Amino acid sequence: MDWTLFVTQLLNGLQLGVLLFLLASGLTLIFGIMDFVNLAHGSLYMVGAYLCATLAQVTDSFVLGVILALPLTALVGLAVEFVVIRRLYARDHLDHVLATFGLILCFDAAVHFLWGAEGMAIRLPAVLDGRVEILPGIVFPTFRLLIISVGLLVALGLYLVVTRTRAGMLIRAGASNRTMVSALGVDIQTLFTLVFAAGAAMAGLAGMMIAPITEASIGMGNEIIIVAFVVIIIGGIGSIKGAFLAAVLVGLIDTMGRSFLDTLLKVFISDQNAETAAPALSAMLIYVLMAAILAFQPQGLFPPKGR
């Protein structure tokens, strides 16, 4: 096997993994604390990307664009929580998915209205636009390395917040046992609003990180959000640790499957058959993984306790 390609794809898989984590960690916390299913989380990913693209254009700096777009995305998240989501906590899951599905339609149309049907590209500064030789003979895009580092840093930060601070303790307690936290007299609404805003910012960040590679486009969040769901189902809803491990696992398996499954299949079946079957199979791989895990662990790898 091609060693260079293998390492490169491993890194690409990791990059996808951290992006998924940025999306999934917010989702899993929102669900864990409020028992709320937010389909529109992917819309915040899109909004982050568009805001960043515009601000990067205005300021002529990608980095400034990200710095300004982050709090704005969080604000959008807050607004959504305040206007719609807050009214839905007491309702059942069916109402959650329907209303947030409606939100997706609204967001997509609003972005269409504000930014037009065309996607928006983001120009990277020269330092980030190149490639670096990370190992002898292996060059990798600098920006993708940055994505990985940012993702890992956020994961580390989140880990520290959740394990070392009081707010984090409440979040953890809330995610595994809601009634206990309310019983402690904590204002769960405020806690949740904060978590929602933070989740929005992280989803937005993921969008900002991917936009320079793929462009910001309408509906960009609608596909990846399902993969983020797969991640939190595998990880166990409400568990940050589970979300992280599952995100990296899914990122790696998806990327590696797409590049090497045909090679692997050729060992067992004819070249031609392998080439027709591999794309479809690799597209299904993460879902098969999910099904396999659920068959043994219906609540994911790190099931919530006390529910």
Partner 1 sequence: MKRDALSPANWTPRTWAMAVGLAILALLPGYVELTGATFYLDLASRLMILGIAAVSLNLILGHGGMISFGHAAYLGIGAYSVGIPAYYEIHNGFIQIPIAVACSALFALITGAICLRTKGVYFIMITMAFTQMVFFAFVSIEEYGGDDGLVIEMRSEFAGLFDIEDATRLYYFIFASLLATLYLVHRITRSRFGMVIEGARGNERRMHAIGYDTYRYRLVCYVIAGAICGFAGALLGNFTNFISPEMMDWTASGELIFMVVLGGTGTLFGPILGAAAFVLLEEWLSAITIYWHFLFGALLILVVLFWRGGLYGLVDWIGRAAWRKRS
Nearest distance, CB of residue 270 and partner 1, angstroms: 16
305 part of the interface to partner 1, by CB under 8 A: no
Nearest distance, CB of residue 99 and partner 1, angstroms: 4
116 part of the interface to partner 1, by CB under 8 A: no
∠ Cα 156 200 89 (to 5°): 115
Q: Find out whether 158 and 21 touch, Cβ atoms under 8 Å.
A: no
Site for partner 1 in 82-101 (CB under 8 A): 84, 87-88, 91, 93-95, 97-99, 101
From CA 142, how far away is CA 127, in angstroms rounded? 8
From CA 211, how far away is CA 197, in angstroms rounded? 21
DSSP secondary structure string, 102-129? HHHHHHHHHHHHHH-SS-B--PPPHHHH
From CA 78, how far away is CA 204, in angstroms rounded? 13
Q: Is the Cβ of residue 3 or residue 287 nearer to partner 1 in the bound state?
A: 287
User: What string marks each residue from 269 to 288 as x (binds partner 1 by CB under 8 A) or -?
Assistant: -------x--xx-xxx--xx
Which among 217, 221, 218, 191 has a CA at the least distance from the CA of 81?
A: 191
Q: Is the Cβ of residue 56 or residue 256 nearer to partner 1 in the bound state?
A: 256
* Residue 89 DSSP code: T
Nearest distance, CB of residue 122 and partner 1, angstroms: 25
**Contact positions toward partner 1, by CB under 8 A?**
31, 35, 37, 39, 84, 87-88, 91, 93-95, 97-99, 101-110, 112-113, 222, 226, 229-230, 232-233, 237, 276, 279-280, 282-284, 287-288, 290-291, 294-295, 298-300
